[in-house]
Amino acid sequence: MIRVAIVIPSLFANWLGGITYYRNLLYAMHVAPHEGIEPVLITGNKLDPALLHDFPVVETLRTDFLDHFDAKWFARMLINKTIGTDFFLEGFMRRKGVSLISHYQGYLGKRSRMKIVGWIPDFQHKHLPELFSSKENAMRDITFNNICALSSRLILSSQDAFRDLLAFAPEFAEKARVLHFVSQPSTAQLDQSAIEAIKVKYKKFTKFFFLPNQFWIHKNHMVVWKAVKILKERNENVIVLCSGSLNDYRNKDHIRDLTDYLRNNHLEESIHILGVIDRQELFYLMRNSVSVLNPSLFEGWSTTVEEAKSIGKNVILSDIGVHREQDPPEAIYFDPRNAQELANVLQKKYRECDGGPDYHLEEQAKNSLKARTIAFAHAYQQIILEAVQ
């Protein structure tokens, strides 16, 4: 039995897309288990258990070594820097019978004896270096090079990312495998009272677009703000609901800039910032919207798009390479730097559609989801077997 560790440091609480990715991966392994591969979830004691509540049943181990700025975490970092290997974390995993660590984005050290399947979701800093400090750009280069060099296999989330790898580090291309993840609608069952509570909470929003992205600057909310302003000047009133974390560590003023724009242009009744919401609420709003929006300037493999594909919902997307690669049915694409073009798209869609479920897309999604999930699991399992062999 190959015990494969999926590691979620407590710091991942700030990266909900990463948490969702691991949920999808473990669910695929649950749907299509491999008799020789056993996933084990390893996380910090400080990670909020609520973040894992919708995960499939999997053995979960907790350790202070993964709690950012904890005393044991500091000791682990010091030893790693001194002797060139992540002695404490690796020792913890070996005592638990782990023989391979998957999707690791840290640095076990050049002297590590642990098999590693690395993961690079995207090379955003190569395309949008202005969004990062010079120090972080340099650190990302070093970290990505270490992941490539020390991994037995390297997972990339898209062909788009693979092309970037060929430019960044072509000597590691033979290790790389593209793995398209498949998103799962929330598997937790709601009773009727919970469903009614969600309906009551959002009952005043009868027709709306939905934008479920974290408020990071590259997610490009501002182009939506500007498009809605253009529509308001045309006397076209549309509603946009936006969910996601409000914190962008790279730009602490970003959310303030967005809210200032809303206030200064009197758009508070048109654009509503909901913050982080429950996954059941997220899928409810997705399903009942006019369209799901993703105006992002850059993606590795968009969770928003995959979730819309899995529940059967039409999308309006920025015209970037990875969105084209994801190829959701009935997608409409627009130039992410052209608010006028987006305004025209939103106006036309809002006039033509009343919102609510896209029943024909839902049927297609329902019929294909299990097969897509199994294919995802099998592709991942093959990568693991290649790595250990």
Ordered strands of the 153-156 beta sheet: 60-62, 37-43, 2-8, 100-104, 115-120, 153-156, 176-178
Average pLDDT rounded to a whole number, residues 154-175: 96
Of all residues in the chain, what percent carry a pLDDT higher than 90? 76
Q: Are residues 166 and 44 in the same domain?
A: yes
User: Which residue in the block uniquely carries the two structure tokens 């006019």?
Assistant: 290
pLDDT at 188 over 60: no
Both 173 and 197 in one domain: the answer is no
At residue 152 the predicted structure's pLDDT band, cuts being 50, 70 and 90, is: very high
User: Are residue 33 and residue 75 in the same domain, yes or no?
Assistant: yes
Rounded CA separation 177/161 (Å): 10
Strand-pairing partners, residue 206, are: none
CATH of residue 173: 3.40.50.2000
pLDDT band at 189 (very low <50, low <70, confident <90, very high): low
Beta carbons within 8 Å of 162's beta carbon, 6+ residues apart: 156, 173, 176, 178
- CB-CB neighbours of 144 under 10 Å: 22
Residues 8 and 149 occupy one common structural domain: yes
Reported confidence tier of residue 181, pLDDT bands at 50, 70, 90: very high
Q: Which amino acid is at 129?
A: P
Residue 22 inside a domain? The answer is yes
Within a domain: 126: yes
Same-domain check for residues 309 and 271: yes
What is the reported pLDDT for 190? Answer: 63
Lowest mean pLDDT, pick from 48-52, 152-156, 297-301: 48-52
> And the tokens for 80?
């790693």
The whole-chain average pLDDT of the chain stands at 93
Structure tokens at 175: 């290790």
Q: What CA–CA distance (Å, rounded) separates 316 from 51?
A: 28
The reply to whether 218 falls in a domain is: yes
Please report whether residue 184 resides in a domain: no
Is 201 in contact with 315 (CB distance < 8 Å)?
no
Dig out the tokens for 177 from the structure: 């495998």
Q: What does the pLDDT read at residue 9? A: 82
210 vs 379: CA distance, rounded Å = 32
Is the confidence at residue 305, as pLDDT, over 60? Answer: yes
Reported pTM: 0.91
Greater confidence (346 vs 70) lies with 346
For residue 366, is it within any domain?
no
Q: Write out the residue range of the structural domain in which residue 293 sits.
A: 192-357
pLDDT given at position 106: 67
Same domain, 249 and 319: yes
Nearest to 315 by CA among 324, 303, 325, 328: 328
**Would the pLDDT of 222 be above 70?**
yes
The answer to the question of residue 345 being in a domain is yes
Mean pLDDT of 55-63: 92
pLDDT computed for residue 80 by the predictor: 82
If asked whether residues 231 and 102 sit together in one domain, one would say no
- Give the residue-averaged pLDDT of 279-291: 94
Are both 328 and 260 inside the same structural domain?
Answer: yes
Which residues, including other chains, have CB under 8 Å from residue 372's CB and lie 6 or more apart? 182, 310
Q: What is the pLDDT of residues 311-341, one digit of tens each?
A: 999 999 999 999 999 999 999 999 999 999 9
Q: Within this chain, do residues 119 and 16 fall inside the same structural domain, yes or no?
A: yes
Task: Note whether 61 and 116 are same-domain residues.
Answer: yes
> Which range, of 28-32, 103-107, 284-288, averages the lowest pLDDT?
103-107
State yes or no: pLDDT of 154 exceeds 90: yes
Q: Both 150 and 22 in a single domain?
A: yes
Q: Could you give the angle at which helices 16-31 and 359-388 cross, rounded to 10 degrees?
A: 80
pLDDT, greater one: 17 or 268: 268
pLDDT score, position 104: 81
Among residues 318, 311, 316, the alpha carbon closest in space to that of 372 is found at 311
- Is it the case that residue 124 has pLDDT exceeding 60? yes
- Find the mean pLDDT for residues 376-389: 96
Predicted confidence at residue 353, as pLDDT, reads 94
Q: Is residue 318 part of a domain?
A: yes
How many domains would you assign to the chain?
A: 2
Indicate whether 185 belongs to any domain: no
Give the residue carrying structure tokens 């010091």: 78
CB 9, CB 43: distance < 8 Å: yes
Q: Are residues 166 and 205 in the same domain?
A: no
Question: Out of 128-132, 192-196, 382-386, which region has the weakest mean confidence (pLDDT)?
Answer: 192-196
